[in-house]
Amino acid sequence: MSAKSRQLADTLQKQEEILSGLLSITVKQREALKEGRLSDLQTLMSDLRHMSVRAQAIETKRARAAGDISQELGCEPVVSEIIKVLSPEDGSVLEESAKKLISTVNALKIEMSILARLMDEAKTLNEMLISEWRRLGQQFLGSSTGTFDTKI
């Protein structure tokens, strides 16, 4: 296997590992949100920020590696195009790494979509509760000025 195709395959594998970590954090966030563990959510958000920085860095490295090998092979910097030009052995290794990465990306997209819907639902519920508390507060206090009605 050529050094550049090995580097791209290794980078795809590392990217899949990092995105698997993001997936794990996202699942934990969803579970914490469902169970109302707000302190866990804060920690998980910090973990997510840290992992996102790593994901951005490896994406830059992947783009660079794909660009280098595609320039050498005279094709587009897309794995499917690079595979067509490589030997069957090298192409299969690269294709396997790409398939794992795509699978993880798809799973991450699904989890992020679920989490986004849960957060929207939580936001809507919170807004409804705040509105109801304000309405009840005005009813019990007698006016919007915060004074009690002293008439009996």
Q: In this predicted model, what pLDDT tens digit does every residue of 9-53 receive, in sequence order?
A: 999 999 999 999 999 999 999 899 888 888 898 899 999 999 999
Of residues 57 and 137, which shows the higher confidence score?
57
- Domain boundaries of the chain, sorted by first residue: 3-112
pLDDT of 98 over the 80 cut: yes
Between the alpha carbon of residue 140 and those of residues 110, 117, 129, 150, the distances in Å are 45, 34, 16, 12
What count of Cα atoms within 13 Å lies in the side-chain half-sphere of residue 40?
A: 13
**CA–CA distance, 62 with 43 (Å, rounded to integer):** 29
Confidence class for position 123, pLDDT limits 50, 70, 90: confident
Among candidates 112, 99, 81, which has minimal Cα distance to 12?
A: 99
**CA–CA distance, 138 with 115 (Å, rounded to integer):** 35
Judge contact between 85 and 74, C-beta under 8 A. yes
pLDDT of 148 over the 60 cut: no
CB atoms under 10 Å from CB of 125, counted, come to 10
- pTM value > 0.85: no
